[in-house]
Structure 1
Amino acid sequence: MIPNPQSQDTDVAIQGGHSLYTSYSLTRTYRRPYYLMTKRALDIILSVIGMICLTPLYIVVAIMIKLEDPKGAVFFRQSRVGLNEKLFDMYKFRSMVSNAEDLLTDLLDKNEVSGAMFKMKEDPRITKIGKFIRKTSIDELPQLWNVIRGDMSLVGPRPALQREVAEYNTIDKLRLKVKPGCTGLWQVSGRNDLGFEQMVELDLKYIKDRSIAYDLKIILRTVKVLFGAKDAF
């Protein structure tokens, strides 16, 4: 569905700093109907084409997941924080054991990235097929359905968890002023090699500079790093 042309978008001015910006200010809220409508149309067209073309891969991955762990579901659904802090269910191929969420509490002290995120290279909850689909980012492909539904965009900030947002400061929350994306500037700029502050920096840079041309550039860069990304875990 094409969004309401009166939908508001947010522009972020970034001031000072070099590798890490030190001051962010929300300068104004304004309407960008052409950009929003074109972005939504691009999201729908590319996502539908992607899901059709990737159907054979979806089937193969689903079979492999069920063969390794017949008790678990093929898809993993998790509540994420979207545009303007609205919750939505995000879909991924399941890459962990069935009771992964129950085991998370015991692993939080082993977090390997800074800030309000949890990542662990040797996470014991990840299955064998899970390691492969995470390494290649295939586990993220079901998010194309989230894009079609309108919960996400192809390009935008990484969808945040509620427990992560609970730790956000005012600056961090600025990344929630646009739809989260399947890919974004963070994913093609180092991903898990970067800390939380750097992720926020890149998200706000994207929000400030976003355009259809910028979105297409990030999508093309994502295709290049999709398979065999060394920093994906």
Structure 2
Amino acid sequence: MVENKKIVIDEEYQNQRYLYRFFKRILDIVASGIGLIILSPIFLIISAVIKAEDRGPIFYSQIRLGKGLQPFKMYKFRSMVVDADKKLEELLEKNEVEGAMFKMKDDPRITNIGKYIRKHSLDELPQLWNVLVGDMSLVGPRPPLEREVAEYTDYDRQRLTVKPGCTGLWQVSGRNDVDFNGMVELDLNYIEHSGIFFDISILLRTITIMFKPNGAY
């Protein structure tokens, strides 16, 4: 049986792809700006429903690590109870995926509205602001938590050679049905074959998945 060849990302080459990065940034600015304007009614509706369910904040922010381990504050619609981070320690032993990532299908911290917006990836919409200001890109590897990166191997850290994204090859390829190692392989495959037309195809697949979820929870 032949083993799959390990992907080695040439970070210097990725940093020198100036033309691709220029057009990718233009796409990010234009698409995120238009998205924030067009989707503003949906922002208002989700905000009102979250506020109606409990008295907690509408938005949730969390420090994530981006390209080159650069920390930044990532925004989401709050889909969990207010003290969700404090309750995480109690649930770590119930993690349903192997590797440096926590996933639990019936996570008791998720609110009623949270289940719906997570299923359709609507909780991720505020990250359009992260894209607009340059913390993230529309397409790229998901930004990890610092505690997750602490468990990374050198191979896994290759995910952090490019700017993180709101969506990516992992999200449109099964998402929670793919384990941590599978996610790393998909992310590295994306980085190795990245290009504007590949990015656009992932964005189009992402829009489809928002209406027909593929395992998100």
Alignment TM class, shorter chain as reference:
over 0.9
User: Counterpart of 2:69?
Assistant: 85
User: Counterpart of 1:74?
Assistant: 58
Among 89, 101, 111, the residue aligned to 1:127: 111
Residue 41 (structure 2) pairs with residue 56 (structure 1):
yes
**Whole-angstrom distance in 2 between the partners of 1:81 and 1:124:** 26
Give, as a single letter, the amino acid of the residue that structure 1 aligns with 2:6: S
**Whole-angstrom distance in 2 between the partners of 1:148 and 1:199:** 25
Alignment of 1:28-177 (within 5 A): 29-30=12-13, 31-70=16-55, 72-177=56-161
Q: What whole-Å deviation, never above 9, does each CA across 1:127-186 have from its counterpart, x for those lacking one? A: 000001001100000000000010000000011011110000000000000011000000
User: Counterpart of 2:6?
Assistant: 23
Task: Report how far residue 211 of structure 1 moved.
Answer: 0.3
Structure with the larger helix share = 2
Q: CA RMSD in A?
A: 1.2
Asked if the contact 1:152/1:181 (under 8 Å) is kept, the reply is yes
Asked if the contact 2:175/2:214 (under 8 Å) is kept, the reply is no
Task: Report how far residue 114 of structure 1 moved.
Answer: 1.6
Q: Percent identity of the aligned residues? A: 57
Q: TM-score, normalised by structure 2?
A: 0.96
**Whole-angstrom distance in 2 between the partners of 1:168 and 1:184:** 19
Structure with the larger strand share = 1
Q: What whole-Å deviation, never above 9, does each CA across 1:185-216 have from its counterpart, x for those lacking one? A: 00000100000000000000000000000000
Number of aligned residues: 214
Unpaired stretches in structure 1, ≥5 consecutive residues: 1-15
**Whole-angstrom distance in 1 between the partners of 2:31 and 2:140:** 15
Structure 1 moving runs of 4+ over 6 Å: none
Q: TM-score, normalised by structure 1?
A: 0.89
Unpaired stretches in structure 2, ≥5 consecutive residues: none
SS at match of 1:151: coil
SS at match of 1:80: strand
SS at match of 2:189: helix
Choose 221-230 or 90-99, whichever is displaced more.
221-230
